[in-house]
Amino acid sequence: MAYTTPTAADLKAKFPTFAAVADGVVTSAITDANRQVDESWLEGDYANAIMLLAAHNLALDGHGASREIQLLGFKRVKVGPLELERAASSSDAAAGSLGSTSFGVRYAELRRLNFSGGIVA
């Protein structure tokens, strides 16, 4: 197995919520994510990390069809009777933070597993 950068087709197969997003947009997100994921990652985690970070960035940019993406930026959602409240500021929404999407949370966990601190005896 080698360090192989995933393609738009790979990301769309793994995360079907992005199936309708143009390949060029997905490829651009992959290129951006590849700047933060290099060969210092475990080989088996390399492609997955790129796809998770790219998916996170796509979601933040409003691409994709999942309910999570449609509700991104809301601080509160109540269903009956309907009540929506947008985050008042970027700090409330944690705009851009990895914790703001499930893809980012999964990427952060994978990053932690690859680059955890040393053990002190």
What confidence tens digit (pLDDT) does each residue in 35-93 have?
999 999 999 999 999 999 999 999 988 898 876 665 565 555 556 776 556 555 444 44
**pTM exceeds cut of 0.85:** no
Residues 6-25: what's their mean pLDDT?
97
In the chain, where the domains are located? 8-114
Dihedrals phi, psi of 84, to nearest 5 degrees: -115, 140
Continuous segment of H or E residues that includes residue 113: helix 102-114
Q: Is 38 helix (H, G, I), strand (E, B) or coil?
A: coil
